[in-house]
Amino acid sequence: MNFTQAIKEATIKVLKTSKKNLLFGLEITNYGSGYSDINPKQVYETPVSELSTSGLVVGLASRGFRPLIVFGRVEFALLALDQILTQAGRWQYMFGKKYFCPAKFRIQIGRQWGNGPQHTANYHSIFLQSGEIDVFIPSTPSEAYRQVIYMNHTKRPSVMLEHRYLSIISENFKKPKIVKKISNYTIYISKKKQFNILIATYADTLINALEAKKILEKNNIYVSIINFSYFPAGRRFNNNLFKFINRFQNILFIDSAPYEFGLLSGIQSLISARVKNVNFFYLAPPNRPAPSSPKHMKEYYINKNQIINKVCWILDKKKIKNKKMTFEELILWPNININDYQ
């Protein structure tokens, strides 16, 4: 099952469990969307009016429904920030935490060839700074499937930031009937269980990190990866991780968004305050909008060869002779199976 299919199947499963679970979105009822066969009183086409349709979702959520609205671009969702952050996000604080507004927002985000400066933004920090909202950033089909089901049951408002670059990655996994608990992170431990270097990442850059890890291990260089995917309201970072992280000499943060004031730089600040004698490094795009042209795009985002070279430099290892990456590898959506890297 690929990433897009996982989200679709989980959403349909949620809709079938209760008539109070509703789905809204632009072109959501199109033929082939997968939702046209669902009860028409649960799936609603929305006009191009993000603020008002989000207001509808917030109102329904405050009246006992569990509505989910889908935005195909994070830039469009920016028009609805007042409803997402001010209304849904702070609803329970207006009523002594006794009256909840479990509105759900699925927002596509991040890189895609041809979308250029205006439609490739990563605004993770905006949502993570809103401490009253659960934030989900799935990296694999199994994470996406579980998170869609889990967030439907929570009382808090939720935002899922859905990286479109992951659309066709696949994974073989057992679909759970219910999801009562999910993890904040996944650890891909090194084969030899060495603790020289930890790669910290999330979302679409997990793919690059896993590919680099596989090549490094073929050259007897062993790295572990921690991938962050769930940031619950009130406790964005799992404090149980500090003991694990303290075992490593070096941490390399890999981001597909600019590092300054970003998701991973925020995590680094938390780690540096609690963990001593660790060296920090990072790889990330420059702090400017992503380009449109293939030529400049392949120089903008971090790839597996850059990660391999950086790890060798940090560990003072001989540089590995990397294969030249193809246009498909540098530009197009990755078409890999996650199971091949576990």
The domain boundary residue, chosen from 166, 199, 217: 166
Q: Is residue 14 part of a domain?
A: yes
Q: Is residue 326 part of a domain?
A: yes
Q: Using one digit for the tens of pLDDT, what is the confidence trace for 232-274?
A: 998 899 999 999 999 999 999 999 999 999 999 999 999 999 9
Q: Is residue 289 part of a domain?
A: yes
Q: Is 106 exposed, middle or buried (0-12, 13-18, 19+ CB in 10 A)?
A: buried
**pTM for this predicted structure:** 0.95
Strand blocks (E) in 164-202: 185-188, 197-202
In terms of domains, do 160 and 191 share one?
no
How is residue 104 written in tokens? 């759900």
Q: Is residue 190 part of a domain?
A: yes
In terms of domains, do 10 and 85 share one?
yes
Amino acid of residue 275: V
In terms of domains, do 194 and 336 share one?
yes
Q: Are 299 and 336 in contact (CB under 8 A)?
A: no
In terms of domains, do 192 and 303 share one?
yes
Q: Is residue 172 part of a domain?
A: no
Confidence (pLDDT) at 11: 95
123 or 31, higher pLDDT? 123
The residue range of the domain holding 29 is 3-166
How is residue 287 written in tokens? 């702090």
In terms of domains, do 215 and 102 share one?
no
Q: Are 149 and 176 in contact (CB under 8 A)?
A: yes
The domain boundary residue, chosen from 100, 131, 166: 166
Give, in degrees to the nearest 5, the angle at Cα 335 between 331 and 341. 115
In terms of domains, do 147 and 200 share one?
no
In terms of domains, do 129 and 250 share one?
no
Overall number of domains in the chain = 2
Strand blocks (E) in 158-213: 158-163, 185-188, 197-202
The domain boundary residue, chosen from 109, 136, 166: 166
In terms of domains, do 324 and 214 share one?
yes
Please give the average per-residue pLDDT across 119-127, as a whole number. 92
Assign residue 111 the CATH number of its domain: 3.40.50.970
How is residue 3 written in tokens? 């990433």
In whole angstroms, give the CA distance from residue 172 to residue 146. 14
In terms of domains, do 203 and 162 share one?
no
Q: Using one digit for the tens of pLDDT, what is the confidence trace for 156-212?
A: 999 999 999 999 999 999 999 889 899 999 999 988 878 899 999 999 999 999 999
In whole angstroms, give the CA distance from residue 118 to residue 91. 31
In terms of domains, do 247 and 279 share one?
yes
In terms of domains, do 133 and 8 share one?
yes
Q: Is 99 exposed, middle or buried (0-12, 13-18, 19+ CB in 10 A)?
A: exposed
Q: Is residue 210 part of a domain?
A: yes
In whole angstroms, give the CA distance from residue 38 to residue 133. 28
In whole angstroms, give the CA distance from residue 107 to residue 58. 16
Q: Is residue 173 part of a domain?
A: no
How is residue 68 written in tokens? 């989910």
Q: Using one digit for the tens of pLDDT, what is the confidence trace for 47-75?
A: 999 999 999 999 999 999 999 999 999 99
Assign residue 326 the CATH number of its domain: 3.40.50.920
Residue 31 pLDDT greater than 70, yes or no: no
In terms of domains, do 143 and 283 share one?
no
DSSP 303: -
Residues pairing with 202 in the sheet: 228
Confidence (pLDDT) at 182: 93
The residue count for the chain: 342
Confidence (pLDDT) at 92: 86
Residues pairing with 187 in the sheet: 226
Q: Is residue 240 part of a domain?
A: yes
